[in-house]
Structure 1
Amino acid sequence: MKKENLRLSYVIPNALVYLLLYMSVLFFFANTHHLYLVQRSSIWVLTILFLFFISVLISFVIWHGIKEDKL
């Protein structure tokens, strides 16, 4: 039961980060023209890249923990 709770404590935030990443990409592509007009596109690109690297890192930690039977 303890490993299941620990696994869920990693998986749920990771799923939320993936959802935030997906919604950010949708927002960016839906408003690309307006973001370029107000010169905010670079901030959104950096945010999307940051969310991507965080989600991949968390996924790797989960995968590594399951592989070594710690999660």
Structure 2
Amino acid sequence: MKNTKLRLVWVIPNVFCYLMFAGVSAFTVIHAEGLQEIHRLGIWVLAMILLFAVSIFGSYRIWTWIKEGKM
């Protein structure tokens, strides 16, 4: 491990991003019918997709930085 503190600074927000994705997904699944009634289900699904994409991209960047030896 080259720099443990630097890894923690990047990994902890990434883990929270995954937790937010799980929370938003659970909320959307639980309240899907009500969100559909007020025509907001599409916005929540889009938010879920974007949050998942940000989480995956963050994980990929951390992985490549570790692989390259930058952190």
CA RMSD across the alignment: 1.4
CA shift for structure 1 position 2: 7.2
1:56 aligned partner:
56
Give the TM-score, by structure 2 length.
Answer: 0.95
For residues 34-54 of structure 1, give each alpha carbon's deviation from its aligned partner in whole angstroms, at most 9, with x where no partner exists. Answer: 000001001101100110000
TM-score, scaled to structure 1: 0.95
TM-superposed CA distance for 1:3, in Å, is 1.3
Instruction: Note the residue ranges of structure 1 that are not aligned, 5 or more in a row.
Output: none
Q: Which runs of 4+ in 1 moved over 4 A?
A: none
Instruction: Count the aligned residue pairs.
Output: 71
Q: Alignment identity in percent?
A: 39
Structure 2: which amino acid aligns with 1:6? L
Unpaired stretches in structure 2, ≥5 consecutive residues: none
Partner of 2:31: 31
